[in-house]
């Protein structure tokens, strides 16, 4: 099985590839550096990025494979994934204030496709965070966390020997929050804590320091951004939801707002679509 890093010659894709390298070595996967020829990309920059990743991989006795293809980038990448059994694809993304349906970014196209692999979409804020990742946070709504999402979060923490935090956010209204007393609040948070306790146990088995933290708020994204601004995390993992090609034009989705304003590197994890 393989982990694949999409390379376009930009520093952000190189950072995403470094994350894929650490994920691959932790999971015992081979690493493939994939580039689909694009007139907008510099092949010299692409080859330099690949060489940098190969040098980093050499420190762990890993030898990545280079794959350079031609064709429509997203469709060609999808076809390659269908023909080559792989586990996950890492690609970089950037926030674009003005979206154009006919000129969507590579990551946006992948996000709307039915892929046979998980997708890790990396939003790079600090280029050098891959060198010193000591704390990783996974924000969730109440107790909503899948085994796959936790596994990815734990794998990244294990790769960096980092401590982790599951940040549980409960959204309520002003009226409901005004009626909450201390006893009710403690009981509600304790229920969530109990339902998440097995993840703390799993983290202990994996030798990953993990804490559970809770917050009750009126706005989920505002609260997560506030939490990030008052802590020193180097990486955030969030769960993404695959959407249609048209859905992102209605309004800014919460995850898009989070990626736009995040003060730390963020990986949005999109679980592959299961065959029915």
139 and 114 inside one domain = no
Total domains in the chain come to 2
98 and 173 inside one domain = no
Residue 175: its pLDDT value, please? 79
How confident is the model over 173-219, as pLDDT tens digits?
A: 887 777 777 787 888 889 999 999 999 999 999 999 999 999 999 99
Asked if residue 166 lies in contact with residue 201, where contact means CB atoms within 8 angstroms, the answer is no
155 and 210 inside one domain = yes
- CATH code (residue 224): 3.40.50.620
96 and 151 inside one domain = no
Q: 12 vs 276, which has greater pLDDT?
A: 12
157 and 193 inside one domain = yes
146 and 123 inside one domain = no
Domain limits for position 182: 135-229
Asked if residue 214 lies in contact with residue 192, where contact means CB atoms within 8 angstroms, the answer is yes
Residue 185: its pLDDT value, please? 81
Domain assignment of residue 125, yes or no: yes
Count other C-beta atoms under 10 Å from residue 42's C-beta. 13
Residue 259: its pLDDT value, please? 85
How confident is the model over 218-270, as pLDDT tens digits?
A: 999 999 999 999 999 999 999 986 544 444 444 567 888 888 899 999 999 99
61 and 148 inside one domain = no
How confident is the model over 106-118, as pLDDT tens digits?
A: 888 998 899 999 9
- Can you tell me the distance from the alpha carbon of 102 to that of 71, in angstroms, rounded to the nearest whole number? 17
Instruction: DSSP for the chain, please give it.
Output: -EEEEE--SSHHHHHHHHHHHHHHHHHT-EEEEEEE--TTS-HHHHHHHHHHHHHHHHTTT--PEEEEE-S-HHHHHHHHHHHS--SEEEEEE---SS--GGG--HHHHHHTS--SSEEEEEE-S-GGGGG---EEEEEEETT---HHHHHHHHHHHHHHT-EEEEEEEEE--HHHHHH--HHHHHHHHHHHHHHHHHHHHHHHHTT--EEEEEEEES-HHHHHHHHHHTS--SEEEEE-----TTGGGTS--HHHHHHHH-SSEEEEEEPPPPP-
175 and 223 inside one domain = yes
How confident is the model over 45-76, as pLDDT tens digits?
A: 999 999 999 999 999 999 999 999 999 999 99
Partners of 141 in the β-ladder: 169
Segment 81-104 shows an average pLDDT of: 79
Domain assignment of residue 178, yes or no: yes
Looking at the chain, how many residues does it have?
276
Domain assignment of residue 253, yes or no: no
158 and 103 inside one domain = no
The CA–CA distances, whole Å, from 81 to 38, 73, 202, 237 equal 18, 12, 31, 23
- CATH code (residue 100): 3.40.50.12370
Domain assignment of residue 276, yes or no: no
How confident is the model over 140-186, as pLDDT tens digits?
A: 999 999 999 999 999 999 999 999 999 999 998 887 777 777 787 88
How deeply is 275 buried, as exposed, middle or buried, from its count of CB atoms within 10 A (0-12, 13-18, 19+)? exposed
Please list, in sequence order, all residues whose beta carbon lies within 8 angstroms of the beta carbon of residue 182, skipping any fewer than 6 positions away.
none
pTM comes to 0.91
Give the distance, in angstroms, between the CA of residue 64 and the centroid of all CA atoms in the same chain.
Answer: 21
Domain assignment of residue 247, yes or no: no
Please list, in sequence order, all residues whose beta carbon lies within 8 angstroms of the beta carbon of residue 50, skipping any fewer than 6 positions away.
7, 33, 35, 64, 66
């Amino acid at each position: 099985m393989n982990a694949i890093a999409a390379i376009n010659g930009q520093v952000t894709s190189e950072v995403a590839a470094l994350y894929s390298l650490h994920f691959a070595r932790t999971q015992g996967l081979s690493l493939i550096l994939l580039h689909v020829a694009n007139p907008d990309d510099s092949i010299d920059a692409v080859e330099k990025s690949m060489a940098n990743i190969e040098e980093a991989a050499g420190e762990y006795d890993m030898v990545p494979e280079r794959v350079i293809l031609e064709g429509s980038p997203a469709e060609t990448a999808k076809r390659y994934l269908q023909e080559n059994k792989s586990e996950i694809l890492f690609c970089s993304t950037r926030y674009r204030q003005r979206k154009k349906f006919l000129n969507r970014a590579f990551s946006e196209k992948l996000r709307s496709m039915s892929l046979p692999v998980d997708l890790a979409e990396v939003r790079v804020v600090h280029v050098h965070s891959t060198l010193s990742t000591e704390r990783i946070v996974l924000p969730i709504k109440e107790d909503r966390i899948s085994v796959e999402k936790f596994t990815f979060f734990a794998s990244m923490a294990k790769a960096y020997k980092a401590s982790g935090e599951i940040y549980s956010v409960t959204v309520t209204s002003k009226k409901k929050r005004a009626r909450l007393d201390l006893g009710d609040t403690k009981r509600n948070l304790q229920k969530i804590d109990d339902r998440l306790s097995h993840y703390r146990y799993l983290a202990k088995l994996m030798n990953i320091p993990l804490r559970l933290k809770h917050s009750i708020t009126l706005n989920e994204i505002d609260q997560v951004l506030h939490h990030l601004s008052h802590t020193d995390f180097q990486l955030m993992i969030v769960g993404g939801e695959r959407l249609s090609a048209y859905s992102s034009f209605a309004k800014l989705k919460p995850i898009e707002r989070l990626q736009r304003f995040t003060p730390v590197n963020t990986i949005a994890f999109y679980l592959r679509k299961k065959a029915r």
